[in-house]
Chain A
Amino acid sequence: MIESVFLGLSVASILLLIALGLAITYGAMGIINMAHGELLMIGAYCAVLTRIHLGFDMFMALPVAFVMAGATGALIEVFIVRRLYNRLLDTLLATWGVAIVLQQAIRLEFGLVFFGIHIPGLGSGLQNTGIPQVLQGSWQVAGTNLPIFRTFVIGIALIMFAVTWWIYYRTSLGTQLRAIARNAKMAAACGVNVKRINTIAFSYGAGLAGMAGVLLSGFESVKPDMGSSFVINGFLVVVTGGVSSLFGTLFASGLLGEARAVLAIIYNDVLAQAAVFAGVILIILVRPSGLFSPKQR
């Protein structure tokens, strides 16, 4: 039983990293970012490319992926999303388009194939990265073996949650972001530079997705369309937890991850997935604004 709970936690951790970024962009900024999964994919490719060209391992790839995915996020915000604030459905369509462009660009070896430039290691196919030696194997708790790598994933997710919480509630950046979430015009009137804060927040969320990508590359092959399925699960978490609540996101990713893993072990995986979706529908029916929605005034 300890093992299944632990597995659930590690599934939840990846979900948490993805959903935190979405909680900020969707919850606080009112943007549906369908390209979030592709930012994750960019992070995973950073792990592959830094390993091939610079000999980096996963620990060193994590900050690189954070910066690269964050920079890509900033570009998307400045050139596309910024022009679409307060147009929820348009942001969905535009970022979906961005997602397709990013996926196909990687498939065409970053689009450089047009110029006859070939980047070794960035092919259209599946790529893989190894796991550092220290993260292989398992450690024992109460007689059960727990894989070290999954422990590491849980650790990173919790640290990044703590950092996000600190930024959100303990820095002036976070205060400004929360002010924008409540009322962007009023915040602007009070001297908050809305554009700048939004760019930073969007880019931060993108960076988190990039880190999730690096961690995922330890579980599965890196491929251009690896992010698509995660963005759906990420939105499920955000909607279940309550759109602008960080603790809601934490709780909901834990809930969905655990439900998925425990049900998969007790019954089977296909049923577990169906049950999780059914559960989310029920929660949304009973509490349309999620489990942890702030009180409306």
Chain B
Amino acid sequence: MSTKLTRRKFLGTSALAGVAATGLPHIWLKDESLYANAATGSEIDVGVLSSLTGPLEVPERSLSDAVRMAIQEINANGGVAGRMINAIVEDAASDPKTFNEKAGKLVIRDRTITTFGGYTTASRLAVRPIYEKRKNLFFFPTFYEGSECSSNIVYTGAVPNQQLYNLVPWMVNTLGKKKIFIVGSNYAFPKGMAQVAKTLLEENDAEWVADEYLELGETEWGAMVNKIKNSGCDAVLSNVVSGPSIAAFYREFKNQGITQTEIPICATVATEIEISSMGNEFAAGSYSSLPYFQAITRPENKKFVADWKEFNNDENAVTHDPQHSSYFGVYLWKQASEKVLNAGEKLTPMAIHEALRDIEFDAPGGLVKTHAENMHTYFTPRIAQWGADGQGIIVDEGETLAPLPYAISGEAEGNLYCTASGLDSSKL
């Protein structure tokens, strides 16, 4: 055992020390000193992470654009307490692995204090460890299956209770449907939704005649639609995801001669994007339950739709639920950041996160609010019926619903499972 300093050992150690001292210092630091620039510099760097190429380009590009539009508006109106926002846009190429790599790049190299992005649950799960480990902040805009409690993600999309608590009673009481066929893609989200829906159906004295699943992305719907036709059901609750699969489902429904007046499809995932991609005539007469539709008649929304068309320089550009959530997420973030700056504190991800609790914003689709405990969003639930022009008509608008991400496991407003101190797993 010699402690003699060999040349090799010396070179190795000094190289390592050199790297640590000059090359990549921020890798070793996890505290606020990392965001020194953000706290004092003139611009605030934020990341925008969506798939600009690959199969998910169509929906995700609109999310990236919505964030950029909000940033442009905020900058034009004086920025965040006088400071401009600088968006660093990254392409995640429809690949969860790329999402993870690009998130790492945004957090570690670009030192952004917040990232707006993601679309699928796979993409959120791919980036989540980075934001949790680096104590950074991620805004996720899509409605999703819930059952998540993270202190580094802000969820600006709906959770199952905000799409089903209004839809199921409405199907039974207003449409007068008693026998519901539940259909979905074979994975976590549709199965969770089906579980919540079944409880609601029982509470409303209706029954479900079947609970069936098709492979994710499957486009051969012949057998399933045949089953629906012969099941004796009087309405379909669809939790089918992925645009091509939804489009093939509605097409087959019409091709097999079922009309939406006989057996209406009530969907939780069909937004304007899915409807326009399948051909409007196939969806005409069906229903969707979401917090936001382009057809909302508030003047704020009409302005939003017009601004969106102008921003894209395209008369046919459509607004849709996750795009709306991407947009107002930036405004919630702006208000929280101003709260931090006005209090004279350093602008760090976790300071913004703390300031976000109970922040309200009058979004184009109505008032939204960040839940103080679980960092999800309060929404006004809405049901729309699709017309032959690809636009919805709002047929039902409920009272504002608090987000209950664990509604699937029995969470209720008086008994929260996910609180500011984290998930109480004893309640699951």
Residues on A facing B (Cβ under 8 Å): 3-4, 7, 10-11, 107, 124-126, 128, 130-131, 136-138, 145, 147, 149-150, 218-221, 223-226, 260-261, 264-265, 268-270, 272-273
Contact = CB atoms under 8 A, between A and B. Distances in A.
Given A124-B57, A268-B212, A269-B214, A223 B222 contact: no
Nearest to B55: A225
A206 to B, nearest CB: 22
Contact of A265 (B214, B219, B226): B226
Interface residues of B, number: 32
B251 A4 contact: no
8 shortest interchain CB distances as A-B pairs: A264-B223, A126-B277, A220-B248, A220-B219, A125-B58, A128-B279, A221-B247, A7-B222
A261 B252 CA distance: 14
Nearest to A216: B219
Contact of A221 (B57, B214, B278): B278
A219 B254 CA distance: 10
Contact of A220 (B55, B213, B247, B257): B247
A269 B55 contact: no
Contacts of B392: none
A107 B57 CA distance: 10
A219 B223 contact: no
Nearest to A268: B212
Contacts of A223: 55, 244
A269 B213 contact: yes
Contacts of B215: 269-270, 273
Contacts of B220: 11, 219, 260
B256 interface: yes
A137 B277 contact: no
A248 B244 CA distance: 32
B257 A147 contact: yes
Given A261-B222, A269-B215, 4 more contacts: A128-B247, A218-B255, A219-B255, A265-B226
B279 A130 contact: yes
A150 B223 CA distance: 13
B257 A7 contact: no
Nearest to A269: B214
B224 interface: yes
Contacts, number: 92
Contact of B278 (A3, A128, A150, A272): A128
Given A126-B243, A138-B257, A269-B215, A220 B251 contact: yes
A10 B277 contact: no
B223 A128 contact: no
A125 B57 CA distance: 8
B227 interface: yes
B204 interface: no
Contacts of B222: 7, 10-11, 150, 261
Interface in B188-213: 212-213
B186 interface: yes
B338 interface: no
B218 interface: yes
23 contacts: A3-B230, A7-B223, A7-B226, A124-B57, A126-B277, A128-B247, A128-B278, A131-B255, A136-B255, A137-B257, A138-B256, A145-B256, A150-B255, A219-B219, A219-B221, A220-B219, A223-B244, A224-B55, A260-B223, A265-B227, A269-B223, A270-B186, A270-B215
Nearest to A128: B279
A261 to B, nearest CB: 5
Interface in B230-282: 230, 243-244, 247-248, 251-252, 255-257, 277-279, 281
A285 B158 CA distance: 50
Nearest to B59: A125
Interface string B392-417: 00000000000000000000000000
A219 B252 contact: yes
Most chain B C-beta atoms within 10 Å of own C-beta, residue among A126, A218, A225: A126
A223 B54 CA distance: 11
B94 to A, nearest CB: 10
Interface in B276-297: 277-279, 281
B227 A128 contact: no
Most chain B C-beta atoms within 10 Å of own C-beta, residue among A218, A219, A260: A219
Nearest to B282: A128
B232 to A, nearest CB: 15
Nearest to A3: B226
Contacts of B279: 128, 130
A10 B186 CA distance: 24
A269 B281 CA distance: 27
A221 B244 contact: yes
A219 B186 contact: no
Given A147-B256, A221-B278, A270 B243 contact: no
A220 B244 contact: yes
A138 B216 CA distance: 29
Given A125-B58, A147-B257, A269-B213, A221 B277 contact: yes
A268 B224 CA distance: 8
B209 to A, nearest CB: 14
A138 B247 CA distance: 20
